[in-house]
Chains A and B, each alone.
Chain A
């Protein structure tokens, strides 16, 4: 208890706690915001789904590698990555990063 009060009395301690609280709050917000980024067109009963992930920038190797954990990357263009064979249960994890704008079905003939 005295250690906690010592941390709260120190300005550095308050700053570190504030940063931790902000980070935790941001993580909660990412989790809550993720389902909203998934297009309703992806609704269905199949176990796996092919998706197009929209980003606000040109994807780099980091982003391709990050999505390979969830499925097979079959292509990328200026602002999106095509990911095939994604489990429905993983869709929120795919949509969770703050740099993902939206997750929808693959657009054909684009």
Chain B
């Protein structure tokens, strides 16, 4: 018992000093279990490769230029789709949140289309735009749009009306109230929407790349099934998880902390 407590204390001290360790340590048992199952010979190596094979595949695909190119394609598609989704979603969310008539008109339409999943659009998009970038971009924008709009509306509606009234009584124009009261107040929700939207967009992108893509991580994984290369499929899965962790925990979460939390709008 004493040893367990000492180990826990050492772990806590270490992770306080090097916070990155806290993210790595939980994966150690997962990798150990994976290695043990792969090494046990329970499954043929071709069906269940170990971590070493995946690392080797990472090196080979990087050496051949395939992985960086596909990764770049996927990231560019995601960020282009997210940028368009934000550019459409934030103003639309603000309009719906601040204007009752817009809310009455748009809200039922929003809920209707939200229920039609991104992948459900694929058959008709393939007829309209074919197997190409337009189809992929449409799906990502569509996926990112709803979380951003809905969270922006929630954020705008959660800003206390007295704050806007107080600003107006002090002579602030409508634009100033929007930029100095409503938007900062709604920002934590907007960023939450963006985080969710990017997450859903990332998943949708992989699915779309599998179906219509000629490049990208999703394409790489789906193409690997042709050659029966489970190692490339596993590598793709690991890259997806790792990349999302880096984007969310290292980029989006600090932005949220640097804005919403810093302004006292989110307490933890």
Interface, chain A (partner B; CB < 8 A)? 3, 6-7, 10-13, 15-16, 57, 60, 62-63, 65-66, 97-99
Contacts and interface: CB of A to CB of B under 8 A. Distances in A.
B69 A66 contact: yes
A99 B254 contact: no
B181 interface: no
A12 B63 CA distance: 27
Contacts of A60: 64, 66
Contact of A98 (B65, B66, B251): B65
Contacts of B259: 3
Contacts of A11: 20
Interface SS of A by simple majority = helix
B250 A12 contact: yes
Given A57-B63, A97-B65, A65 B214 contact: yes
Nearest to B18: A11
Interface residues of B, number: 14
Contacts, number: 36
A94 B246 CA distance: 32
28 contacts: A3-B258, A3-B259, A6-B254, A6-B258, A7-B258, A10-B254, A12-B20, A12-B249, A12-B250, A12-B254, A13-B254, A15-B250, A16-B246, A16-B251, A57-B64, A60-B64, A60-B66, A62-B65, A62-B66, A62-B69, A63-B64, A63-B65, A65-B214, A66-B65, A66-B69, A97-B65, A99-B64, A99-B65
Nearest to A10: B254
A73 to B, nearest CB: 15
A99 B63 contact: yes
Nearest to B247: A16
Contact of A62 (B20, B64, B249, B254): B64
The residue among B69, B214, B259 with the most chain A CB atoms within 10 A of its own CB is B69
Name the residue among A7, A15, A62, A63 with the largest chain B CB count within 10 angstroms: A62
Contacts of A10: 254
A7 B254 CA distance: 8
